[in-house]
Every structure is written in structure tokens, then in C-alpha cells.
């Protein structure tokens, strides 16, 4: 039933203005509108709704991720905009914070938005 439907995802923030700047200016997502409740972005296939909740506390699991064709270029772009990648002790990431799956195919990195929501990039 939902196989052909366009997905939507949700991110919570404590500060709408700060989150809007991050998702628009740092990550380069297209800001569609603010509908009085959330900022709406196009993520290149899904709608992202960023909603302000004053006492929001982010979880420790990834909330949103993107598939990228070139991990090195994507990481360099994030770092150039001041984004720090997360390095988890003991999982074997490279100096840029990129983890490679045991089969050598998938590469993954993680970073936080300004509210601590965990985001990721994957190259398969």
C-alpha cells in the first residue's frame, strides 16, 4: 500500500532558527516552508519536518541518514562547514571518522545536528 508513497521523517529541535540554519545552510537541504508548526525540507526523496519542542532531548540512535555517492567528498564538505564527525572508540573508524563494514563495501559516518540528533552518511 505505501510502496509508492513519498516518505516523511521527523526531527525535533529546541531552537527552530538554529535548526533551520543547520539543515539549510550546512547540509544544503531545500527549505520548502514553515507551516506554523514545523520547518519543512526536501531531503532529495523524503520530506523532513523539523519541529520545535522546547525541552527536547535527542536519543542515542541515528535519527536520519543519507546515501552518498562519494564519502570522502561528503565528509570534506561537512568538515569545511564546521561539522565534527563522531568517532566511537573501538569500532575501527579511519581518521575522518568513517567506518568500513567488514565486507569492505559500505562506509558509514556519524555526526550530530545542533540538538544532538544523530545523523549519518552511508556509501555502498
pLDDT tier at 3, thresholds 50, 70, 90:
confident
Q: What is the mean pLDDT of residues 98-113?
A: 96
pLDDT at 29 over 90: yes
CB < 8 Å & 24+ apart, contacts of 100-108:
107/71
Q: Measure the CA–CA gap between 14 and 17, rounded to whole angstroms.
A: 9
Whole-Å CA distances, 32 to 10, 36, 44, 47, 111: 15, 13, 12, 9, 24
pLDDT on residue 1: 82
Give the tens place of pLDDT for each residue, 38-94: 999 999 889 999 999 999 999 999 999 999 999 999 999 999 999 999 999 999 999
- Round to whole Å and give the CA distance between 104 and 61: 23
DSSP bridge partners of 62: 118
Q: With 90 as the cut, is the pLDDT of residue 4 above it? A: no
Output the pTM of the full model.
Answer: 0.93
CA distance linking residue 111 with residue 120, whole number of Å: 6
For the chain, domains (ranges, CATH) are 1-54 (3.10.180.10), 62-124 (3.10.180.10)
**Beta strands per DSSP E along the chain:** 8-13, 30-34, 38-42, 47-52, 62-67, 99-100, 107-112, 118-123
Question: What's the pLDDT tens digit per position in 106-117?
Answer: 999 999 999 999
Amino acid at each position: 500500500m505505501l510502496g509508492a508513497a513519498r516518505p516523511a521523517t521527523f526531527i525535533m529541535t529546541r531552537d527552530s532558527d538554529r535548526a533551520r540554519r543547520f539543515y539549510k545552510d550546512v547540509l544544503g537541504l531545500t527549505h520548502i516552508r514553515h507551516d506554523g508548526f514545523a520547518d519543512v525540507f526536501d531531503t532529495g526523496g523524503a520530506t523532513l519536518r523539523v519541529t520545535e519542542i522546547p525541552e527536547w532531548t535527542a536519543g542515542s540512535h541515528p535519527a536520519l541518514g543519507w546515501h552518498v555517492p562519494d564519502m570522502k567528498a561528503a565528509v570534506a564538505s561537512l568538515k569545511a562547514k564546521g561539522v565534527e564527525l563522531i568517532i566511537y572508540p573501538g569500532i575501527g573508524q579511519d581518521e575522518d571518522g568513517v567506518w568500513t563494514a567488514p565486507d569492505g563495501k559500505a562506509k558509514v559516518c556519524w555526526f550530530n545536528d545542533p540538538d544532538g540528533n544523530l545523523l549519518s552518511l552511508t556509501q555502498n
